[in-house]
A and B are shown apart, each in its own frame.
Chain A
Amino acid sequence: MEKKKIVVIGGGIAGMESSSFLAAMDFDVTIIEKADKLGGHVRNWERLFPTMRLGAEVLDFLNQGVEGRVKIVYNTEITDIKKKKDVFAITTGDGKNIEADAVLVTTGYDLFDARKKEEYGYKIYDNVITSSDLEMLFTEGKKILTADGKTPKRIGFVHCVGSRDEKVGNAYCSKVCCVTAVKQAVEIKDRLPEAEVFCFYMDMRMFGMHFEFLYKEAQEKYGVNFIRGRLSEASENMDGSIVVKVEDTLAGKPLRMNLDLLVLMVGFVPSEGSNKVGKMIGLKTGPNKFFKTQDQHTLTNVSNIEGVFFAGACTSPKTITETITDARAAAVTVADYLHDQPLGRRTI
């Protein structure tokens, strides 16, 4: 009997792990990936919270499931998806057509464009960078320096940049930024023990296993300062250092501080790929603009189109752990659909 075909759109960690499980279940799986490598955002992340494990280790693990089992089409974007009866016809940018019995959307997220928070001065002030920029310095093994090549003595992290912020239209929490700030603050202190590090937060959302431990360690062992208050604005001093205005809501006082480097903890937004694919097939989105699942508690991998499923951060911000778990759940859900849905016909 011919194997049922599944196209997985996006080769990030959700696409990799769901493909591995589907291939292991003897389906014909093809990943369509726009880049020239698998791994998505995790490729840009040197170390992972809360354990400080190398991101590359996780990718190596996921690759072991993909290699030799899954077909991968690199450097390719999808231009059209049409459904005829139960079969999907997928057209790629190079004019090829791929047929599939099911489609798994794993288009992930994009990082919030920090330029939209104009008052923080990203891409305007030389010493304002994002969490992603900082991680890139870690990944490339570069020194942490100010724009004029000096070692920063004071570094600030701004939480919730583009998250929980109705002004930019994103009311949701991006989940990972708080603990990422703690992780990066610790890494800075490891590299620059003499530097003062400040985290400006609204709430510390330390929900994951060991997150609270890392947060405590950052304070007690590394001396990272956590100030509860949101930045109102950042400006540039004559020497290129950054002056920030914050309200310290625990002390009940306004605060003005000079920093040598300001790091903006950028949140998640639906990816450009999600928006394109969603329009092609008519996938519904929720109030947070990520894809809407059929049910928030139960049918969390099921879309509004029969035969199209979701995995990973295309439905909401997720940690790596959650994404991998979600990818496996999606694989089982797709398999159930292709096996005449012994479980998928349940309703809620």
Chain B
Amino acid sequence: MIIEGKQAIWKEYQKEIADDKYFYVRSCVRQNFFPGSETAFLQIMREDLGKDVFEHSCHTTCTGIGYHGDVVPLDTMMTVVARQFALMTESGYENLVPSCITSFGIYTEVLDTWHHFPETEEKVRTYLKKATGREFQIPKNLAHASDLIYKFRKEIAQKAQYKLIDTNTGIPLKAVEHIGCHYAKMFPSKGIGGAEYPYVLSGMIEEWGGEVIDYPERRHCCGFGFRQYLVQANRGYSMSCSHKKFESMEPYHPDLILTNCPGCPMFLDKWQYAIHEMQGKSYGRNGEGIPVLTYEELAGLVLGYDPWDLGLQLHQVPCETLLDKMGIPFDPAKKYCGKNGKDLGHPACNPFEQKKMLTFKD
């Protein structure tokens, strides 16, 4: 590996990211998959970094999953996107920050379409006006939420309580990163580091003390191709994608997997459990799985947030091994307590020790 070659590519793929005053739009699915992530993002941006981040209660889906699943027509998708822009404009913001990679891809695609076909933009403006009476400005700056964490990675490092270093050995933790297809594969110039050697997550890992692993199937899909997973008959294909990645990364002994997209942590986390159930195979050391984190969760851990406030108890692969390595204290007794102390229910077993289906008590 010639690191200078990668660095040359990273220099080419940089993008402008606004300094402040963001209009944040949440993901449809992340709030269910990893509910602590978006909350952690807002807390980090507002409280740790002192930024103005605004959310609008009328924000809806971008229709991305429906659009890519061929059930939402292009004109409908663009009009819904135009409505999100209208909410941003009405709120007095100009910098759009989606939480979801699919949404980021959708917004990028729509803006690029309108750039090349201004008559399409005019048509959509008419649709929106007729349907809702709203008007909108095109965002001055579009950045994915991970772009912001990347932009402020040095500030986060300065405030870091913990680093991506094994406190027992002093050795940097090895991390696998996965940026999600819609972040840069469609528009490489819109992703930090481009599509082939993306840097958005690698930059965070390096800045916070870890070491990035480049493994052969790094570019392969995580398993959340919409048609692979949403069509039930295709789910074996989804799992085989994840399986291929796990097999490929296993010899490098990663300490964690860092993800960017709503689907990637879901599948890289959940399929580890499913593969373990099916084959008895685990990809971490000592029969454990490889913890899978979102970038907000990792930033939160680095900043000293309580792991259970970040929602790590809702991961299928237990994260305690990683917390131990980073030297992060945690209270096992509070793992399944909600923010208000309410019992969230406990898994019936540790999936990596006993072969039983994971269920939650009522």
The chain A residues found within 8 Å of chain B, CB to CB, are: 115, 118-119, 121-126, 233, 235-238, 243
The stretch of B1-9, B80-88, B91-99, B353-361 in contact with A is B1-9
Q: Is the CB of B5 within 8 A of A115?
A: yes
What residues on A are CB-neighbors of B196 within 8 Å?
118-119, 233
Q: Is the CB of A233 within 8 A of B1?
A: no
Provide the bound-state CA to CA distance between A119 and B184, in Å. 13
11 contacts between A and B (CB under 8 A): A115-B9, A119-B219, A121-B5, A123-B5, A124-B1, A124-B197, A125-B2, A126-B1, A233-B196, A236-B1, A236-B216
Provide the bound-state CA to CA distance between A125 and B197, in Å. 12
Q: Is the CB of A124 within 8 A of B5?
A: yes
Could you tell me the distance in whole angstroms from the C-beta of A259 to the nearest C-beta in chain B?
Answer: 12
Could you tell me the distance in whole angstroms from the C-beta of A264 to the nearest C-beta in chain B?
Answer: 14
Provide the bound-state CA to CA distance between A233 and B217, in Å. 10
User: A118-B194, A119-B196 in contact; A124/B2 too (CB < 8 A)?
Assistant: yes
- In this complex, what residue of B is CB-closest to A256? B216
Q: Is the CB of B216 within 8 A of A237?
A: yes
Q: Is the CB of A123 within 8 A of B219?
A: no
Q: Is the CB of A123 within 8 A of B217?
A: no
In chain B, positions 161-217 with a C-beta closer than 8 Å to chain A are 194-197, 214-217
Could you tell me the distance in whole angstroms from the C-beta of A320 to the nearest C-beta in chain B?
Answer: 32
What residues on A are CB-neighbors of B214 within 8 Å?
235-236
Could you tell me the distance in whole angstroms from the C-beta of B215 to the nearest C-beta in chain A?
Answer: 8
- In this complex, what residue of B is CB-closest to A233? B219
Provide the bound-state CA to CA distance between A236 and B215, in Å. 7
**CB within 8 Å: A-B pair count:** 42
Identify B197's interface contact among A118, A122, A237, CB under 8 A: A118
Q: Is the CB of A238 within 8 A of B251?
A: yes
What residues on A are CB-neighbors of B330 within 8 Å?
none
Identify A125's interface contact among B1, B194, B215, CB under 8 A: B1
Provide the bound-state CA to CA distance between A121 and B4, in Å. 12
What residues on B are CB-neighbors of A125 within 8 Å?
1-2
Provide the bound-state CA to CA distance between A119 and B5, in Å. 12
What residues on A are CB-neighbors of B252 within 8 Å?
238
- In this complex, what residue of A is CB-closest to B251? A238
User: A124-B2, A125-B2, A238-B251 in contact; A115/B8 too (CB < 8 A)?
Assistant: yes
Q: Is the CB of A124 within 8 A of B217?
A: no
- In this complex, what residue of B is CB-closest to A258? B216
What residues on B are CB-neighbors of A236 within 8 Å?
1, 214, 216
Provide the bound-state CA to CA distance between A126 and B5, in Å. 10
Provide the bound-state CA to CA distance between A237 and B250, in Å. 12
What residues on B are CB-neighbors of A235 within 8 Å?
214-219
Provide the bound-state CA to CA distance between A16 and B8, in Å. 37
What residues on A are CB-neighbors of B5 within 8 Å?
115, 121-124
Q: Is the CB of A124 within 8 A of B6?
A: yes
Could you tell me the distance in whole angstroms from the C-beta of B148 to the nearest C-beta in chain A?
Answer: 25
Could you tell me the distance in whole angstroms from the C-beta of A335 to the nearest C-beta in chain B?
Answer: 47
Provide the bound-state CA to CA distance between A115 and B4, in Å. 12
What residues on B are CB-neighbors of A124 within 8 Å?
1-2, 5-6, 9, 197
17 new A-B contacts at CB < 8 Å, known A118-B197, A124-B1, A236-B216:
A119-B196, A119-B219, A122-B5, A123-B2, A123-B4, A123-B8, A124-B2, A124-B6, A124-B9, A124-B197, A125-B2, A126-B1, A233-B196, A235-B216, A235-B219, A238-B251, A243-B216
Please give me the 7 A-B residue pairs with the lowest Cβ-Cβ distance, nearest first. Answer: A124-B5, A118-B196, A123-B5, A235-B216, A243-B216, A119-B196, A124-B2
Provide the bound-state CA to CA distance between A235 and B197, in Å. 11
